Chain A
Amino acid sequence: MNIGGLGMDKNFMGSHSNLLILSLISRKDMYGYEIIKELEVLSDQSFQLKEGTLYPILHKLENMKWVSSYMTLTENNIKRKYYKITRLGLQQFAEEKQTWEAYKNSIVKVLGGQKYVNQTQE
């Protein structure tokens, strides 16, 4: 995971790649290239996921039964592998999202105090 422009450490977001990918797939079934592009668009080019990182993560999620996959034929008769979130994946997504929210609030509290947290929640 490269964080363009923000100068963040790779490891910072690397640990949250599951959360981001599960979040995208939870909205609709997606294929690899689509996930990369969608992530770029939604993050204003901040998150650029390399192919060499994405596919091992996707296949790992599949092994964990958090996502399942199926093949379809495109209009150009090319076989395409789609990923679909499973019920187990949705549970995992909810847990990781909760952890992330708690983590984010803690950071915000440290940076701006309780007053800042209240402001952001409003």
Chain B
Amino acid sequence: MLIKPKSEFISTVTKQIRFSFDRKVIALELEDHLLELESYYYESTQDRELAKSKAILEMGDPKEIGKALNQVHKPFWGWVWFTSKALCILLLCIIGWMSLQKVWDSFQSAREFESVGLGPIGILPQEYYLSKLGDNPANVYLLARYSSSEHRLNLDRDVIQFDDICLFSDGTMIILYQDIKPFDPFGLGSEDYPLQLLSSLVLPDGTMLSFRQDWSDIPHLGHILVVYDFPIGIESFSLKYEGYSDQFETLIRVSNNYEKK
């Protein structure tokens, strides 16, 4: 009788198993078994080749063994298991990637602040604002800078941080702020709280000024609120917010007056 070599025997068994991902472990298990049998027969025969042949004969018909194993290693459940494992890994990768992006965004934000010569919480150079002001910015200059009595405010689920409040000589007031959201990689609970729509400035005489949306936000730096025709010479005023579930009013005072150009 022609005895198949060990590798051929194992390969014949594993070929019968349709769920290919299980073949490797089965091959390892059979190889170990064959080696044990070989050692057993070698002890009695002292003939390596004879021992190998006897071991393979002892194992039986490889096709039959493979078919029996194939009955147990069902491809359907194998694939279900394999797919769920792959999906879990994919999900972890997506979560990891989104978290990395968040970290990278914060890092970029910090770098951009630094690139304009300011710390992560700071102000932008007036040239930036001037470049966006009116038709004739050459005649416009920074008149005053204000600061909020509360640098940070809890607003619904977010935190609002006022970074820069500037008044220009043409009566344009700009408020630069950050909307710091809780960690939420899928944006499930994320809502925007439009300060432009839900808040206004209240002057000491009770006059209310609404915000305009003429300026776009600065990527990575923050959101911008713009008010035109703000009266010159006002020392303090308040910003009033009336949101979905929260409301606040914060006092804003002059921190720096600048001389006319």
On whether the two chains bind one another, the answer is yes
A32 touches B60 (CB 8 A): no
Q: Select which of B33, B61, B71, B73 is within 8 A of A32 by beta carbon.
A: B33
Once A33-B36, A63-B72 are accepted as A-B contacts, the answer to whether A55 and B31 lie under 8 Å apart by CB is no
- Say yes or no for B252: interface residue by CB 8 A criterion: no
Once A55-B65, A81-B28 are accepted as A-B contacts, the answer to whether A60 and B72 lie under 8 Å apart by CB is yes
Once A33-B33, A59-B73 are accepted as A-B contacts, the answer to whether A50 and B28 lie under 8 Å apart by CB is no
- Say yes or no for B184: interface residue by CB 8 A criterion: no
Once A51-B58, A52-B60, A81-B25 are accepted as A-B contacts, the answer to whether A33 and B68 lie under 8 Å apart by CB is no
- Say yes or no for B59: interface residue by CB 8 A criterion: yes
Instruction: Digitize A48-80: 1 where CB-to-B-CB distance is under 8 Å, 0 elsewhere.
Output: 001111011001100100000001001010111
Q: Sort chain A's interface into a size bin.
A: 10 to 19
* Min CB–CB distance B76 → chain A (angstroms): 12
Complex: how many Å from CA A55 to CA B67? 11
List residues of A (3-53) whose CB comes within 8 Å of B's CBs. 31-33, 50-53
* Min CB–CB distance A54 → chain B (angstroms): 9
Complex: how many Å from CA A65 to CA B185? 36
Residues of the A chain whose Cβ atoms lie less than 8 Å from the Cβ of B65? 51-52, 55
Q: Select which of A52, A74, A78 is within 8 A of B61 by beta carbon.
A: A52
- Chain B residue with minimal CB distance to A54? B33
B72 touches A78 (CB 8 A): no
* Min CB–CB distance A51 → chain B (angstroms): 5
A31 touches B32 (CB 8 A): yes
* Min CB–CB distance B49 → chain A (angstroms): 19
* Min CB–CB distance A81 → chain B (angstroms): 5
Q: How many A-B residue pairs have CB under 8 A?
A: 52
B37 touches A56 (CB 8 A): no
* Min CB–CB distance A108 → chain B (angstroms): 34
Once A50-B60, A51-B65 are accepted as A-B contacts, the answer to whether A56 and B71 lie under 8 Å apart by CB is yes
Once A59-B72, A59-B73 are accepted as A-B contacts, the answer to whether A78 and B32 lie under 8 Å apart by CB is yes
Once A50-B60, A51-B65, A81-B25 are accepted as A-B contacts, the answer to whether A33 and B32 lie under 8 Å apart by CB is yes
Complex: how many Å from CA A77 to CA B119? 59
- Say yes or no for B35: interface residue by CB 8 A criterion: yes
Residues of the B chain whose Cβ atoms lie less than 8 Å from the Cβ of A78? 31-32, 35
- Chain B residue with minimal CB distance to A33? B36
- Say yes or no for B69: interface residue by CB 8 A criterion: yes
Residues of the A chain whose Cβ atoms lie less than 8 Å from the Cβ of B229? none
Residues of the B chain whose Cβ atoms lie less than 8 Å from the Cβ of A32? 29, 32-33
Residues of the B chain whose Cβ atoms lie less than 8 Å from the Cβ of A51? 30, 33, 58-60, 65
Residues of chain A at the chain B interface (Cβ within 8 Å): 31-33, 50-53, 55-56, 59-60, 63, 71, 74, 76, 78-81
Q: Which 10 A-B pairs have the closest CB atoms?
A: A52-B65, A33-B36, A56-B68, A59-B72, A52-B60, A81-B29, A79-B28, A60-B72, A51-B59, A33-B33
Q: List 22 A-B contacts (CB under 8 A).
A: A31-B32, A32-B29, A32-B33, A33-B36, A51-B33, A51-B58, A51-B59, A51-B65, A52-B59, A55-B29, A55-B69, A56-B69, A56-B71, A60-B72, A71-B25, A71-B28, A74-B32, A78-B35, A80-B32, A81-B25, A81-B29, A81-B32
